[in-house]
């Protein structure tokens, strides 16, 4: 069981985490952040296993992972 925190202000909406999450736990949000980017959003359906793949691949080091 895991959980991630996406730091919205660091996120640039590149969708890399969305693509790489093996559990499809991340989606793009509808909101803009202050830079005008859609940021990504943790779905938190309980399937996240804290594998850190999203965090490892995030170019902006915007994700923290808990397990």
Partner 1 sequence: MEKVFTRPKTLSDVQMAYCAGCTHGIAHRLVAEVIDELGVRENTVGVCPVGCSVFLYEYFECDTIEAAHGRAPAVATGVKRCLPDRVVFTYQGDGDLAAIGTAEIVHAASRGENISVMFINNAIYGMTGGQMAPTTMLGQESTTTPGGRDHARAGYPMRVCELLSPLEGVAYAARVSLTSPANVAKAKRAIKTAFQNQLDGKGLSIVEMLSTCPTQWGVSPLDAFRHVDEVMTAYYPLGVYKDVNG
Partner 2 sequence: MHEEVIMSGTGGQGIMIMGQILAHAAMTEGRHVVWFPSYGPEARGGTADCTVIVSTDEIGSPISAHPDTLVGMHQFLFNRYQPIVKIGGRLIVNTSLIDPATVRTDCDVVMVPANVLAEEIGNVRAANMVMLGVYVASTGVVSVESVLASLPEVFPSHRHKLIPLNESALRKGAELVRG
Positions in the binding site for partner 2 (CB under 8 A): 12, 32, 34-36
57 close to 16: Cβ distance less than 8 angstroms:
yes
The phi, psi pair for 17, rounded to 5°, reads -65, -40
Closer by beta carbon to partner 2, 3 or else 37: 37
| CA angle (35, 65, 13) in 5-degree steps | 25
59 close to 23: Cβ distance less than 8 angstroms:
no
Interface residues toward partner 1, by CB under 8 A: 1-3, 9-10, 12-16, 19-20, 35, 37, 50, 52-53, 55-61, 63-67
Interface residues toward ligand SF4, by CB under 6 A: 2, 4, 6, 11-17, 21-23, 25-26, 39-40, 48-54, 58, 60, 62-63, 65
């Amino acid at each position: 069981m895991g959980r991630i925190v996406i730091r919205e202000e660091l996120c640039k909406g590149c969708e890399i985490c969305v693509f790489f999450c093996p559990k499809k736990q991340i989606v793009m949000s509808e909101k803009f952040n202050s830079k005008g980017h859609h940021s990504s959003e943790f779905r938190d359906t309980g399937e996240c296993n804290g594998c850190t793949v999203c965090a490892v691949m995030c170019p902006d080091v915007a994700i923290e992972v808990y397990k």
